[in-house]
Amino acid sequence: MENIENILPLSPMQRDILLRHLGAPGLEEYTEQVCWTIRGAYRPGVFARAWEQTVARHPTLRTAFFWEGLDRPLQVVHGQAELPTERLDWRGVPREELDGRMEALLAADRRLGFRIDAAPLMRLTEVRVADDEFRFVWSHHHLLLDGWSATVCIREVFGTYEALCRDEAPRPGPVRPYAAYLAWLEGRDSAGDERFWHGALAELDDPAPLGIARAAGGARGGERYAVHTTVFPAELVERLRGAGRRGQLTLNTLLQGAWALLLGHYGGARDVVFGGITSGRPVELPGAESILGVCVAEVPVRVRIDPDAPLGEWLAGLQAAQAEARAHEYCSLAEIQEWSGAAPGGRLFDTLLVFQNLPDAQLGAAEVAGQEVADFRRVPTGGGLGHALLLEVVPRRDGLVLNLTRDLDRVDAGAAGRVLEHLRTLLEAMAADPARPVGELSPLSVAERARVLAAGRAEREYPADGCIHERFAARAARAPDTVAVTYEGESLTYAELDRRSDRLARVLRARGVGSEARVGVCAERSAELVVALLGVLKAGAAYVPLDPAYPAERLAYVLEDAGIGVALAQERTRDRLPAAGVEVVSLDREEDAPAGPPAMAVRPEGLAYVIYTSGSTGRPKGVMVE
C-alpha cells in the first residue's frame, strides 16, 4: 500500500472507455495530444517545477487503473508521480522540414500509447528547434482527463510557470478532487434514468443507414482513421449566432439540427440518432468546473425530422429535448443501450458530434513572463471509438474549426469532403431563413442540384409497357461496346453487363428461383451490385437489399420476414449472412450456365423489389415496389 493515496471507482464514461480499451488495446484513439510553442527566454527547469507542483496538487494526474482479478475496475491515486519528459534538440533541422518532423513525432507518440496501470498516464515532449524556440507535445490517456479538464490543467501549469519565473508564489484556486465528483454521482437519484432512456429510444430499431459508408472491412495496417479539417468563417458563425439569438437557440443546437438533417438526407430517414458528448459537470456541485477528470458523457441524440415544421420551432423542440436529457446524462452508454431494448452487440449510432465548448484555452500569441506562447492546439485524434464518423467542432475567434475523423475502412476521402461541404450548405440556409419549413432545406449546393435535375430531366417519352431489364437489353443490343458501369477503376460495357446478368439469372433459375420470389442482395457498391440487380430481375424475381453494414439481427429478421431462400453476396460480405437457412450465391465467382436470358415471361406489373424501412413498431417493414 506504499505510495497509495486513495482508491476510487470509475465514472460511467471511464467504464465505457476502459471496456473499449480492453477490447482493442492496440488502438491509439485514446491518446490525447496538446501542442504549443514557446519563444523567448524559456526556462526548462522552472517549467518542470510548474508541472511538478500541478501534478502534486491534483490527485487525478497521479492515477492508474486496475481491473484484473477485481469485481469491478478501480482507479488508484498514487501519493507521488513524476511526469516523464523527453527533450529533443532539432536545431539542425531545416525550417521547411520541421512541420513534417513534428507530424511524424505526433504519430509515433500516438502509437506508443500508455500502460494504464502505471501512473502517470501522461508525458511531455520538449523539442528545441532554435536557440529561443521550443515546441511541446503533452500527451495523456483519455481515461485520465476530458477536454475541459485538460484545458484547466494547462492553464494552471502556465499560471504557475509565470509566477515562478517572476519569483512569486503561485496562487492557483482551491483543488476540487475528482473523488468529490464520483461521490456526487454515487449519491444522485438515478431512479428515473432507465425510464427516461427507455422512453426516449422507444421503437428504435437500428441506426438509419449512413448512406455514404461502406461495410466495415478487416483490420488494416498502419493508420485506422484520417482527419479532415476545415474552418467555417467568422462571418457565417456570426450569422448563425444571430439566428440563434432571435430564437433563443444555442450554436450547438443549430449544429445538432444540421447534422441530423444531413444524416436524414444520406440515409433517407426521418428518425435519426447520433452520439453527442455532454459536459457532465453538474451546476449543483460546487467547483465542478475546476475538477480534473473524465466528467463528460457520451449519449444518444434522437431527432425526428418533421419536414412541415418551421425550422425555428423544430430546433426549439430539439433544444428542449436535450435540456430534458441533461438530467439523465450521468449513465454509461452500455447501460443506455441495455435500457433502450436494442439487441445485444448492436449499436445505437454510427456518428458522433462533439461541440467543444471549452474554457478559453487559446493562449495564442499571449505573453507568459515575457515569453511568447503560440500555436496552442489540441491535436484531432481518432476518438471516434468505433464510429464511422466523428465531427469535432471547435469555436475560435476566426470562425469554427471542424475536424472530421473518418474510419478508413468505412468512409472514403471524397465522401468525407462532401460531408463538410454539405454541412456548410445546410448551415448557410439555416442562418438565412430560420422560419422556412424544415423540408425545404437541402445539403446540395446550387451546382449539385442542377446536375441532379439535369440527370433526371425526361426529354423523351418513356415506354411504359416494358420491364427495366428489357429496356436494358435493347440498349445493350444498340451499343454493346459502350461503357455501362464504372466503379473505382472497374468498367463493364453494356454487352458484358448483359452477358453476366443473363448468366446470373440462369444460375438463380437453376436454384429454383421463380416468378416474384424474393432474392436477397448483400453487396457493397460495386459493378457486381448492378449485375446482381439485373440478374434478379431477368430471373423474374424481386430483389431485397441487405445492407452489409446492418447488424446480424436485422439481416436475419429481413431474411425470415421476406421468405428469402437464395441470397447474392460478395466474398467480403458473405459472412454477414447466416450460415444456415439461406443458400448464398457468390457474385465474385461466375458459375457455368447457358448463354442468353432465361426463357420466361416477366410482366411490367410484377414485383421488382422489396425495401425494408423502420416501422412505427420498431420492427423493419417491407415495402413492395412493382
Specify the CATH number for the domain of residue 541. 3.40.50.980
The DSSP code for 373 is E
Pairing of strands 31-39, 371-379: antiparallel
Picking from 300, 298, 308, 304, the residue whose alpha carbon sits closest to that of residue 317 is 304
**Amino acid letter, residue 291:** I
Residues 89 and 29 in one domain: yes
Q: CA–CA distance from 134 to each of 368, 373, 375 (Å)? A: 14, 10, 11
Grid coordinates representing 561 are 420476414
Q: Are 550 and 215 in contact (CB under 8 A)?
A: no
Picking from 162, 150, 198, the residue whose alpha carbon sits closest to that of residue 43 is 162
Write down the pLDDT at residue 384. Answer: 47
Q: Give dist(CA 370, CA 283) in Å, integer.
A: 37
Residues lower than pLDDT 50 in the chain: 215-220, 361-364, 384, 615-617
Residues 102 and 167 in one domain: yes
Write down the pLDDT at residue 149. Answer: 94
**Amino acid letter, residue 298:** E
Q: Give dist(CA 73, CA 14) in Å, integer.
A: 10
Residues 421 and 319 in one domain: yes
Write down the pLDDT at residue 261. Answer: 96
Taking each continuous run of H as one helix and of E as one strand, the counts in the chain are 16, 23
What spatial distance separates the first Cα and last Cα of the chain, rounded to whole Å?
73
* Residue 169, burial from CB neighbour count under 10 angstroms (0-12, 13-18, 19+): exposed
Q: Which positions ≥6 away from 477 have C-beta within 8 Å?
A: none
Residues 424 and 523 in one domain: no
Alpha helices for 126-177 (secondary structure H): 147-165
Q: Which of 119, 151, 181 is the last residue of a domain?
A: 181
Residues 115 and 158 in one domain: yes
The DSSP code for 71 is S
Residues 160 and 89 in one domain: yes
Per the domain annotation, does 364 fall within a domain?
Answer: no
Residues 436 and 468 in one domain: no
Q: List the domain range (segments joined by +) for residue 486.
A: 462-625
Domain count, the chain: 3
Strands (E), 471-592: 483-487, 490-493, 518-522, 542-545, 566-569, 583-586
Q: Give dist(CA 47, CA 54) in Å, integer.
A: 11
Q: Which of 181, 202, 235 is the last residue of a domain?
A: 181
Residues 518 and 405 in one domain: no
Residues 231 and 110 in one domain: no
User: Could you read off the pLDDT of 383-392 as tens digits, one per residue?
Assistant: 545 788 999 9
Q: Which of 432, 453, 474 is the last residue of a domain?
A: 453
Q: Give dist(CA 392, CA 385) in Å, integer.
A: 13
Provide the CATH number for the domain around residue 300.
Answer: 3.30.559.30
Q: 170-185: string of b/e by CB count within 10 Å (b at 16+)?
A: bebeebbbbbbbbebb
Per the domain annotation, does 206 fall within a domain?
Answer: no
Per the domain annotation, does 176 fall within a domain?
Answer: yes
HSE-CB for 271 with a 13 A CA cutoff: 14
Write down the pLDDT at residue 480. Answer: 82
Q: Are 63 and 74 in contact (CB under 8 A)?
A: no
Write down the pLDDT at residue 594. Answer: 64
Residues 52 and 86 in one domain: yes
Q: Which positions ≥6 away from 602 have C-beta within 8 Å?
A: 467, 469, 470, 515, 537, 538, 540
Residues 444 and 468 in one domain: no
Provide the CATH number for the domain around residue 11.
Answer: 3.30.559.10
Per the domain annotation, does 239 fall within a domain?
Answer: yes
The DSSP code for 59 is G
Q: Are 586 and 567 in contact (CB under 8 A)?
A: no
Per the domain annotation, does 195 fall within a domain?
Answer: no
Grid coordinates representing 221 are 495496417
Per the domain annotation, does 189 fall within a domain?
Answer: no
Per the domain annotation, does 199 fall within a domain?
Answer: no
Per the domain annotation, does 219 fall within a domain?
Answer: no
Q: Give dist(CA 294, CA 239) in Å, integer.
A: 33
Q: Give dist(CA 477, CA 474) in Å, integer.
A: 5
Q: Give dist(CA 194, CA 595) in Å, integer.
A: 60
Q: Give dist(CA 587, CA 508) in Å, integer.
A: 12
Residues 426 and 346 in one domain: yes
Grid coordinates representing 611 are 425495401
Alpha helices for 220-332 (secondary structure H): 234-247, 251-267, 311-325
Q: Give dist(CA 235, CA 575) in Å, integer.
A: 50
Q: Are 359 and 279 in contact (CB under 8 A)?
A: no
